[in-house]
Amino acid sequence: MPELHTPANRPGPAAVARVTLLPALLVIVAVAVGCALVSPPVGTRHEILTNPGLYIDLLALLFLVFMLWSSAKVRMSHIAVNWVRYGLLLWIAGGTFDVMDEIVVQPRWMGYYCEDLLRLSGMLLTVVGVYKIIERINLLYVDARSQSLKDELTQLPNRRFFIDTIREKSGHALGLMILDIDFFKKINDSWGHLVGDEV
């Protein structure tokens, strides 16, 4: 029986992005192999294999594939993660054409559009995605920090806030006044907890 995709079990954008990564990589490899079969080699087999540029480009390409594989492991559902993934895919596509120009003769337009434009587009998408992820993590940190300094029920400063304030003021003159209100429970019982918090 086919699986129904209701709103409750529909895969999210992050899951869809992870599923599309492998087919996209296979398309990139297929296009590169197709170019290699159609174009003449840049030199003899020995010249190609002794060219250090080939190995540097291959190393850069493997690093990008590793980064893409690592990004597929991220379980963050923010859209910026997909920007990073698609940016890396474009960057890998440009890097693949960069490797291929060390092996086969490519037309100049392929170097401009397939190599440079894909690489720059991928870099831009990746950088914007990473910036958005850092921005999101910073917002989550600020929110968590703010919540850790307040009581959840009353929103009043808690013990951690008090300790942090004392630590910040160390070395400066500091005064502390403690009030003990007798029968404070009667205030809460008579007037309510909100009035008691204001007192």
Residue 38 lies in a domain: yes
Q: Indicate the pTM of the whole model.
A: 0.68
Residues 81 and 124 in one domain: yes
CA distance 33 to 138: 43
Query: What local confidence, expressed as pLDDT, does residue 159 receive?
Result: 82
Same domain, 20 and 112: yes
Q: What is the pLDDT of residue 1?
A: 45
Q: Which of 103, 99, 96 shows the shortest CA–CA distance to 44?
A: 103
83 in the same domain as 44 = yes
Is 54 part of any domain? Answer: yes
Residue 8 placed within a domain: no
Decide if 184 is inside a domain: yes
Q: Is residue 180 part of a domain?
A: yes
pLDDT the model gives residue 187: 80
- Same domain as 137, residue 173: no
pLDDT for the residue 73: 82
Q: Which two tokens stand for residue 38?
A: 């159609």
Same domain for 176 and 101: no
Predicted pLDDT of residue 123: 96
Both 65 and 158 in a single domain?
A: no
Chain position carrying tokens 């951690």? 160
- Are 136 and 43 part of one and the same domain? yes
Indicate whether 5 belongs to any domain. no
User: What are the per-10-residue average pLDDT scores of the chain (199 residues)?
Assistant: 51 61 80 81 88 93 92 81 91 90 85 86 95 92 88 81 82 75 78 76
Q: Could you tell me if 75 and 160 lie in one domain?
A: no
Number of folded domains that form the chain: 2
Q: Given this model, what pLDDT does residue 107 score? A: 82
Task: Convert the chain into a string of H (helix), E (strand) and C (coil).
Answer: CCCCCCCCCCCCHHHHHHHHHHHHHHHHHHHHHHHHHHCCECCCHHHHHCCHHHHHHHHHHHHHHHHHHHHHCCCCCCHHHHHHHHHHHHHHHHHHHHHHCCCECCCHHHHHHHHHHHHHHHHHHHHHHHHHHHHHHHHHHHHHHHHHCECCCCCCECHHHHHHHHHHCCCCCCCCCCCCCCCHHHHHHHHCHHHHHHC
Residues 69 and 118 in one domain: yes
pLDDT of residue 120: 94
Asked whether residue 116 is assigned to any structural domain, the reply reads yes
78 domain residue, yes or no: yes
34: containing domain: 13-147
Residues 18 and 101 in one domain: yes
